[in-house]
A and B are shown apart, each in its own frame.
Chain A
């Protein structure tokens, strides 16, 4: 990280709003962020599963990568522009960015030369003809300086990376999210899961709406100019179906949804195969073997890995936190918990971690060493709570 550890925390455009709403604030990814509001994590989690939750995710790193000339006169020219900009980022990721349909967003990973995961990120191909040759890229907060430097370097001389992390990025998640958004941006309702579009000249300026999220629920992430961030958030909060949700509930929601948190479930010591993210490694990329660490990763797909990421369900009531040792029933150390806590919707403890592949099958009994005691657990199928994405 470029910031010294004693540098003041950064603030999102919604910082004053969080304070006004009585949020309990703490550092996350270099930002002063709301952990919870007055209702508390449990109520906020449950509200998101039944109504609609507003999340400030402005600490993340949205950006646009663009060729000097966007669009093209013919569809061939436009497709060529997309292929050209995709080739720049495909030097860093194992997914088929060139093969994305217009308007489609892909979750993928930045890889180092050893196939280790530098970050997880979202890459989108704009739907509009006049924006072909551009990509919408969103990286994580704590890793964004390094990620942006890597992407800019990969694109040097060919395309320019425009950071948009000074804007407000607001997620609205939950079964009522669509109805809430319908009253504000009717054009966004036609989006399906993992698609996005720009919506111009709204009361909140030009916005980018993506149908995605990190809770397992249907919802949207809306990128709005910083000066409109608070007005947009206030508009959402005027709706009785919407409540503000902090990072505490965001974590329990994503854990139940079986999603990874970078720096915990993913790091440079893990490849996408170890992380059970093989689906990110697209077929054309496997055939070409032209991504960082391809030899190692393709070998792992063929021959398997020593250990891999799985869901872990403690069978008692005690949560198993990050760092908890995982043992086989005969007491051999076989892995470690990388994320763990209490799942309010599951109404019990949930975790994920890495275990030796021989123990990775769903239903395999495990022991978790919590405060010196071996507690019963088993390998669980992810997600813990079925996803409700709008396909």
Chain B
């Protein structure tokens, strides 16, 4: 299982042709306390770099973008019911959706952990 990162601070952890997607620890800390999450339903087609979900903190709303094109196969209702889970464990239990990748070739355009950490240091 390999994890990739976007410059919009999403992560995608790929197992076979399904990727689990969430926002990074860096993003969760920047946002502050998450109070509301809106996720796409299973079956929804999402497009790389297009809005996929919404996450709201006390002070602001932010879009979450799809790191890859594909079909949503599962969304994490636990973070809808309890948005604070996104802050508690953003890169684990606070995952957003699972996407069936349309084109695994898109992953090569994303960052690995080392590249993402270096990117965050410039933010």
Q: Report Cα–Cα, A43/B32, bound state, in Å.
A: 11
The CA-CA distance from A35 to B54 in the complex, in Å, is 22
Q: Are B61 and A41 in contact (CB under 8 A)?
A: no
Contact B38 A248 (CB under 8 A): no
- Chain B residue nearest to A319 (CB atoms) is B56
B33 at the interface (CB under 8 A from A): yes
A271 neighbours in B (Cβ, 8 Å): none
Q: Which of B54-77 contact A (CB under 8 A)?
A: 54, 56-61
Known contacts A41-B58, A342-B56, A371-B54: A319-B35 contact under CB 8 Å? yes
Q: Which of A23-48 contact B (CB under 8 A)?
A: 35-36, 40-43, 45
Within the complex, which residue of B38, B56, B58 is in contact with A252, where a contact is CB–CB below 8 Å?
A: B58
Which residues of chain A come closer than 8 Å to B33, judged between CB atoms? 40-43
- Scoring A249, A319, A371 by chain B CB atoms within 10 A of each residue's CB, the highest score goes to A319
- For A371, the closest partner residue in chain B by CB is B54
* Proximity string of chain A (337-375) to chain B, C-beta cutoff 8 Å, 1 when within and 0 when not: 000011010000100000000000000000000010000
Asked whether A248 and B61 contact (CB < 8 A) given A318-B38, A318-B56, A319-B56, the answer is no
Counting CB contacts under 8 A, is B36 at the interface?
Answer: yes
The number of chain A residues with a CB under 8 A from chain B is 20
Residue A104 is within 8 A (CB to CB) of chain B in the complex: no
With A36-B32, A41-B33: A342-B58 Cβ-Cβ less than 8 Å: yes
Q: Which residues of B contact A43 (CB under 8 A)?
A: 33
Q: CB within 8 Å of B: which of A217-275? A: 248-249, 251-252
| Interface residue from B32, B36, B58, B61 paired with A317 (Cβ < 8 Å) | B36
Closest A residue to B54 by beta carbon equals A371
A36-B32, A248-B32 are known contacts. Are A41 and B38 too (CB-CB below 8 A)? no
A308 within 8 A of B: no
With a cutoff of 8 Å between Cβ atoms, the chain A residues found around residue B36 in the complex are: 317-319, 342, 349
B99 nearest CB across to chain A (Å): 21
B58 contacts A344, C-beta separation under 8 Å = yes
A317–B38 CA distance with the chains assembled, in angstroms = 10
Contacts of B38 in A (CB 8 A): 318, 371
B58–A341 touching, CB < 8 Å: yes
A211 touches B (CB below 8 Å): no
Which of A251, A317, A349, A371 contacts B59, CB < 8 Å?
A251
Chain B residue nearest in CB terms to A36: B32
CB neighbours (8 Å) of A321 from chain B are 60-61
Additional pairs, 17, CB under 8 Å, beyond known A41-B32, A45-B58, A318-B38: A36-B32, A41-B33, A41-B58, A42-B32, A42-B35, A43-B33, A248-B58, A251-B59, A317-B35, A319-B56, A321-B60, A342-B35, A342-B36, A342-B56, A344-B58, A349-B36, A371-B38
10 of the cross-chain contacts (CB-CB < 8 Å) are A40-B33, A41-B33, A42-B33, A42-B58, A43-B33, A317-B35, A319-B35, A319-B36, A342-B56, A344-B58
9 smallest A-B Cβ distances: which pairs? A42-B33, A342-B35, A41-B58, A342-B58, A40-B32, A317-B36, A248-B59, A40-B33, A318-B36
